[in-house]
Amino acid sequence: MEACRSIGLAARFVSGYQCLTDSPPEDGFHLHAWAEVYLPGAGWRGFDPTQRAGAVADRYIALAASVYPGDTTPVVGAFSQGNGAQSQMESTVMIQVTAPGASQYQASD
């Protein structure tokens, strides 16, 4: 992101889900993060430096985007030991593909 910004291109941090397989099993979607750069005439384009393909495609689902990575965290909180409190969190993500002839994917975290 800083390399893009240093040459005058807007860049942001994106947090969301990445599908890891062609036909996602129940655990096929994983929390992931990547960068996006704004290219004049082309709009926002995603780039994932952790993947060999580089470019973000239809296997990425953005949940939040910001110039500040800390503003895109899916869960924020604090923990203090010694008070005896217990906590549990569950979430379900349902992804509906709207392209003609496409199927529905469902993932659970």
Domain ranges of the chain: 2-72+91-108
Q: Mind listing the pLDDT tens digit for each residue in 11-69?
A: 999 998 888 766 555 666 778 889 999 999 999 999 988 877 688 888 888 888 999 88
Report how far residue 11's alpha carbon sits from residue 24's, in angstroms, rounded to the nearest whole number. 30
Helices (H), the chain: 2-6
CATH 3.10.620.30 fits 2-72+91-108, yes or no: yes
User: pTM of the entire structure?
Assistant: 0.66
Cα 44-45-50 angle, rounded to 5 deg: 140
Could you tell me the pLDDT band of residue 105, with boundaries at 50, 70 and 90?
very low
Report how far residue 86's alpha carbon sits from residue 83's, in angstroms, rounded to the nearest whole number. 9
Nearest alpha-carbon partner for 32 in 42, 53, 10, 47: 47
Residue 31: beta bridge partners?
17
Q: What is the mean pLDDT of residues 7-13?
A: 94
In the prediction, which pLDDT does 79 show? 62
